[in-house]
Amino acid sequence: MSQWSPTFVQELLPAAEKTALLYRLSYLCLANFPNLERIIRSRAVETQLLFGSSEATMLKCILTGESLVQSLFPMLMKAVEKNKAILVVKFLGKAQVWIKEVISDVERIVEKYDLHNKDVASSTSDVVVEKLHIDKAREKKDIEMEKAKNILNHLKSDLQKTTEELAEIERKINHKSKEIQKFARSITQKSKGLGIFAAIVPFIGLLLKSIYDAVCDPEHFAHMKALEAELNNLFTEKTALKQKQWQLELQIIDWQMKFAKLILNTSIPDPIHLNEVQCSLSKIQAILIQLRNFWENVAQMLDCLEQKTFVGEYLIEDLAELKDEFLESIKIAKEAWSSFGEGCKKASVIFKLQTKNAYRFLEVSPSSLSKEQWQKEYESVKKQLEKIDSPQCVTSSNTPAISE
């Protein structure tokens, strides 16, 4: 018959408490992920219900063993001693019904662990997919920010260049205006009226009109026309640069707003704790696998106990002659069931939550916690997990949970 090692059950003792804490940690880390938060809440409830079913099934194993050992086997032995073959058959039939029923319940529990482990694995995949989506979104955001930054730098460079060009144009306009005034003064000797205008009129337009009105020399007239054309070109260039400067300033304001929105964009949550969620779910899966193996061991033991219980069934036809052999087989079965029951009592604590409020955290959304509350809760859970995982928490036992 299978035997649990002395430390097998001991290692699983904190399973319920540790699982609840791992769910609590995962739940906290999903404060900014409502979809994943909903999924983890659902999985935590499923696990809690599964542990409740496990505790109920383990209790049924204990009660079935007690019923066989304390009630049915004694009556079966009396029926054998009195050669009551019909009663022996009835008692064995009753035992078979009880044993088959508990075996069926244990097999269902094993199936539930398999299914639930797949659900938790699916949740782990959901976390991985969410992390990939966030990584892509953040990469896209980084690219957009880099693009906006480059465009802003380019626009600012263009604006600086345009401003410098405007300053140069202003310098050229001032230089050309002085050149015109100088030319006007050079011809004032031939026109007293022009000299007066050249001396008192600060506006180039009026000055040019006065010159044209006063100049009679065609050569002077042509030279003035050339100077005027150059001045007009400079003003045209200045106007174009002013317009360009204005457009660049508007574009810079627009891209500065876009850049600020990208910086302030909180629609992409920080995935810093998703790795921790993934790790916690993997640990929960490992615990579920351990517990499934535990129940598989229980199923194997029950198969063995069933065989021991009915090993003498073929002796019923010769009950009178083989009474002692039959009684010996029942005695062996009784001892095996008694040992099994004691082991189940020790193992039943695996599924008892350390506190009745282990899953009360599901009633409060982590997003509703303040930053300080969240940090305090997070640190508390981490410390509790570290305490469970510390070597001194695993104590040895010289007595097997279930022996042969």
Average pLDDT per consecutive 10 residues, the chain (404 residues; last block may be shorter): 56 85 93 90 93 92 95 92 88 94 96 95 91 84 86 92 91 84 68 47 51 61 77 88 90 87 69 88 94 92 92 75 86 93 86 73 89 92 87 38 39
In a shared domain, residues 256 and 362 = no
| 184 and 113, same domain (yes or no) | no
| Sequence-distant (≥ 6) Cβ neighbours of residue 39 within 8 angstroms | 123, 126
Is position 144 within any domain?
yes
Q: Residues 216, 124: one domain?
A: no
- Last residue of a domain, which of 240, 266, 292? 266
Number of domains within the chain: 2
| Residue 381 belongs to a domain | no
* pLDDT tens, residue by residue, 377-391: 999 999 999 988 765
Domain boundary among 266, 297, 314: 266
For residue 343 the two structure tokens come to 């082991």
Residues 21 and 69 in one domain: yes
Distances (CA, A) of 149 to 140, 153, 155, 250, 311: 14, 6, 10, 16, 83
pLDDT of residue 318: 74
Same domain membership, residue 115 and residue 17: yes
Task: Kindly state whether residue 400 falls inside one of the protein's structural domains.
Answer: no
Q: What is the pLDDT of residue 82?
A: 87
Regarding whether 107 and 197 lie in a shared domain, the answer is: no
The per-residue pLDDT for 198 is 46
Residue 64 lies in a domain: yes
Two tokens, residue 163: 């401003």
User: Does any domain span residue 31?
Assistant: yes
* Whether 230 and 170 share a structural domain: yes
Cα gap 321→323, rounded to integer Å: 6
Say yes or no: 87 and 40 in one domain.
yes
Please check whether residue 389 lies inside any domain of the structure. no
> Are both 258 and 231 inside the same structural domain?
yes
Q: Do 113 and 205 share a structural domain? A: no
What three-state secondary structure class fits 209? helix
Tell me, what's the pLDDT at 358?
Answer: 85
Host domain of residue 241: 139-266
Burial 117-147 (b: 16+ CB within 10 A, else e): beebeebbebbeebbeebeeeeeeeeeeeee
Tokens of 315: 């002796």
Tell me: do 12 and 129 sit in the same domain.
Answer: yes
Tell whether 134 and 203 lie within a shared domain: no
For residue 246, tell me if it sits in a domain: yes
Pairs from 35-40 (Cβ < 8 Å, separation ≥ 24): 35/126, 35/130, 36/123, 36/126, 36/127, 36/130, 36/277, 37/365, 37/366, 37/367, 39/123, 39/126, 40/123, 40/277
**Domain boundary pick from 266, 294, 322:** 266
